[in-house]
Amino acid sequence: MAKLRYLIVGSGWRSLFYLRVAQALPERFEVCAMLCRTPEKAEKMHREYGAPVSTSVEECIAMKPDFVVVAVNKASIADVSRQWLERGFAVLSETPAALEEDTLRQLWQLHQQGAKLQVAEQYWLYPTLAGRLAAAGSGALGPVHFARLSVAHGYHGASLARRFLGAGQQPVKITGRRWTDRVVETDSRWGVVKNGSVVEKDLQQHTLEFAGGATAFLDFCGVQYHSFLRSTHTSVQGERGELYDDTLRCLDKAGEPVCRQLAPVQEPLVLEAQKAGLNEDETAIACYLDRMQDYLAGGAEVYPLAEALQDAYLSLLMEQALQQPGRAVESAPQPWNS
């Protein structure tokens, strides 16, 4: 299989994930360049991270990447993605696809007109979460009706809730509340924190009631992404059993209760990524990038755009629900709903 060559538009924290994946797995991936806004930022990215860099759109176009990764700030993702789509490139945008409903609908229209756009929703590809999703979808739990997830915020949480429950794009009713959590900061995007400072973080809880009868309880505080004091959890319940993190309790074919421990998904690329020192998030991104090969050749979408747009839409509704605690916000039909 040919090496995938991609351009990274952006030079922030998230863009570095795509650079590290290529540097760790050079036989699979190659970064043509990181397109930076200023010469100063380009020089910094090259000096500190060894990235090939450019400040020229024309120069990057001439490199003829297989696709373009758009990893700019959230407010600009949709506009920048659209610019590269209009130049004729396939685009893999960071999450969320857009921050407004109208823009989500515009992106769907572009997709319907043939634009090749994917959104890098990667949580379903985490090796640990992929194993749990497989178990929940195997039938071992029977019909799944409840999921309690404390794993990720907003669109990521919505994505996992819909996948664990098999809810697809069903209409949903959302309620939400927020609190302030106080915790000693121990970790961050940039490394371990040891000054003992107490920080205040936004704790959000949402209930998603799907039209098919399943319910998701989402509970997340941003500090959980980087903390030695706050962990993440999944609990999924069906008629025949429960999945709590990596413990599966269910009835066997004879109706006898069994309990077993799940293992993370260990497909060859996962093992290769782990051997190269990539963490779980980077490993998930590598798995997503690898699947782009087939998509670019005319195969199935990696993560259907309709799903990514629904995640972003539900995230907007979740924000609305926080503004009116206890009152339900209901989804409306969207053009990407099947």
Q: pLDDT tens digits, the chain, 338 residues: what are they? A: 689 999 999 999 999 999 999 999 999 999 999 999 999 999 999 999 999 999 999 999 999 999 999 999 999 999 999 999 999 999 999 999 999 999 999 999 999 999 999 999 999 999 999 999 999 999 999 999 999 999 999 999 999 999 999 999 999 999 999 999 999 999 888 889 998 899 999 999 999 999 999 999 999 999 999 999 999 999 999 999 999 999 999 999 999 999 999 999 999 999 999 999 999 999 999 999 999 999 999 999 999 999 999 999 999 999 999 999 989 999 999 999 98
Tokens of 336: 């990407």
Which pLDDT belongs to residue 313?
A: 98
Which pLDDT belongs to residue 11?
A: 94
156 CB contacts (<8 Å, ≥6 apart)?
95, 121, 123, 311
Nearest-angstrom CA–CA distance, 88 and 282: 27
Nearest-angstrom CA–CA distance, 251 and 262: 16
Which pLDDT belongs to residue 84?
A: 98
Which pLDDT belongs to residue 50?
A: 95
Residue 228: closest CA among 196, 263, 275, 205: 196
Phi and psi dihedrals of 282, rounded to 5? -65, -35
Which pLDDT belongs to residue 2?
A: 82
Which pLDDT belongs to residue 190?
A: 85
Record the pTM.
0.95
Nearest-angstrom CA–CA distance, 73 and 75: 6
Instruction: Answer whether 157's CB lies under 8 Å from 297's CB.
Output: no
